[in-house]
Structure 1
Amino acid sequence: MAIAVVAFSASIDASEPKPIEAWDRVVCIQSQVESKPDTGKLCSAFLVNADERLYLVTAGHASSETNLKSKLRYRDPDGVTQWVSLKTFFRTSTNPWQRNEQSDFAIAELPDVDGAETYRSHLSALSISLDSICTETPPRTTEVVTVGFPLAIGAGDVISPVAVVGHVASRETSTANSWGHEPIVYCSPALAQGTSGGPAFLNNQPDGELTVIGIYVGVVHDVSGAKLSKMVPAHLIRAHISSQQTNE
């Protein structure tokens, strides 16, 4: 009798869904350049949920390279590679992105539309709570994991985001950009194209806990070839999404 009970319990445990690994919550957006059909663009992105609303977040410069034919590719909660075109969600808007005026990131709210229920359910399951978006930049030398698709690695037939361990290297620093200045946190190591829009998580969090400290937007380098990663501080993303909740 005892053996039968143990076997039954093991069967139940085996049927329980495995938790989603933090790194697999990161998605990619693949786009064809409309004027050059043989040329493609790729960026990383992630999803944030707030009060049952769902937001897609990526780098601002990366959002400008997408279009309604762009494919949002991801690993669903069962580990199966899926894709959905942006026009499935955005049927009337030619540009669903809201670019932040201060920093290089953009958000797009994914509406609940007929015919997209399965995709939205998948993406909602992959999303990160707004409460997990850090309100303060962690101190220098803090260990972080930046996740994305550098050089399109992990964006093949099977989606498998790349996770790179690094460290916070600076306090928030006012950095010149094409429209003025923006707060940037520098981190190591420098990462390749395709990572833009990917989140950086605190490393070594307790099981089930996630903390996003920033979003990767590029590199800074000098003539010697030395490079550092540039991150938009997470609290700016949190404030932007919170303002959407307040204004509507």
Structure 2
Amino acid sequence: MKSILWLVVAIFTAGSVAVADAPKELEPWDRIVCIQSQVESKPDTGKLCSGFFVEAEGSLYLVTAGHASEETNLNSRIRYRDPSGKTQWVSLKGFVRGEGNPWHRNPVSDLAIAKLPAVDGAEAYLGHFKELAISLESVCRECSPRTTAVVTVGFPLAIGAGDEISPVAVVGHIASRETTAKNTWGTEPIIFCSPALAQGTSGGPAFLQSETSNKTTVVGMYIGVVNDASGAKLSKLVPARIIHDGITRMQNGG
């Protein structure tokens, strides 16, 4: 499912945007970021997807959907809520060495991961990202049972991606065991989940619902929907084990 196409003039001309005087408590859902990419042929429009950070052995990784990563460029902007409650943005090119593509695409899944290196001048942003990051240990390696309550977080229809960033959190349930679904390259491992969500959510994580605000467990990542002629739909999630294995391989130089 393609990321949502929408107007982003105000956002792209903004820098850091302050919010209310007293910062709101950082909830697990506030760890999610949106990645906005201007369309060069249409300067008044852009594309948006969701994403999240994972920290492993001191290194930071930005995770999103594979199809969403194809719509990004070095000028794409990561917009996020910093630990003090302010909405911030920073260009992706600030964390890319050279002119190369920062994304590592998974060969069997609609998943993309970018390692964010420590670069001069980006220390403040990296500090924010580390506070927002989810530990690799919290990325589950087993599929949760069917009917497990989960919270899928992102920016459907660009909701919550305005001047005061506020990701949307939707409660649903795991609907299947890990299975496979057809994709352009063949088949991919998948978990089906309810409800179906709108464009812009791609790349957003699904958390276990029954946890405290100090603990987050990622069970999957939203990548789109499956539907039939009747209009019935289910969400598709990349199993969290695929994310865990992908980051582990990058740690080991793979």
Fold conserved between structures, TM > 0.5: yes
Task: Find the aligned partners of 1:99 and 1:75 in 2 and give their Cα distance.
Answer: 26
Deviates more, 1:88-97 or 1:238-247: 88-97
Residues 55-94 of structure 1 mapped to structure 2, 5 A cutoff: 55-94=61-100
Indicate the SS of the match to 2:197: coil
Paired residue for 1:222? 228
Paired residue for 1:195? 201
Alpha-carbon spacing, 1:160–1:19, altered in 2? closer, same or farther (3 Å)? closer
Whether 2:254 is the aligned partner of 1:231: answer no
Which one has a larger percent helix, Structure 1 or Structure 2?
1
Whether 2:53 is the aligned partner of 1:47: answer yes
**Root mean square deviation, CA, Å:** 1.3
Which of residues 11, 26, 36 is equivalent to 1:20? 26
Unmatched 5+ stretches in structure 1 = 1-16
Deviates more, 1:27-36 or 1:85-94: 85-94
- Contact 1:58 / 1:106 at 8 angstroms: preserved in 2? yes
Give the number of the structure whose alpha-carbon radius of gyration is greater: 1
Alpha-carbon spacing, 1:207–1:21, altered in 2? closer, same or farther (3 Å)? closer
| Offset of residue 160 of structure 1 | 0.3
Which of residues 143, 146, 153 is equivalent to 1:147? 153
Paired residue for 2:190? 184
| Offset of residue 37 of structure 1 | 1.9
Whether 2:209 is the aligned partner of 1:206: answer no
- Contact 1:29 / 1:73 at 8 angstroms: preserved in 2? yes
Paired residue for 2:118? 112
| Offset of residue 114 of structure 1 | 0.5
Unmatched 5+ stretches in structure 2 = 1-22
Task: Find the aligned partners of 2:205 and 2:74 in 1 and give their Cα distance.
Answer: 23
- Contact 2:27 / 2:213 at 8 angstroms: preserved in 1? no
| Offset of residue 194 of structure 1 | 0.3
Paired residue for 1:173? 179
Residue-by-residue CA offset, 1:186-211 (whole Å, 9 max, x unaligned): 00000000000000000021341110
State TM-score, norm by structure 1: 0.91
Residue-by-residue CA offset, 1:10-47 (whole Å, 9 max, x unaligned): xxxxxxx9863100000000001122222210000000
Indicate the SS of the match to 2:78: strand
Task: Find the aligned partners of 1:20 and 1:38 in 2 and give their Cα distance.
Answer: 32
Residue-by-residue CA offset, 1:106-130 (whole Å, 9 max, x unaligned): 0000111001110111011100000
Paired residue for 2:15? none
- Contact 2:28 / 2:213 at 8 angstroms: preserved in 1? no
Q: Give the aligned length.
A: 232
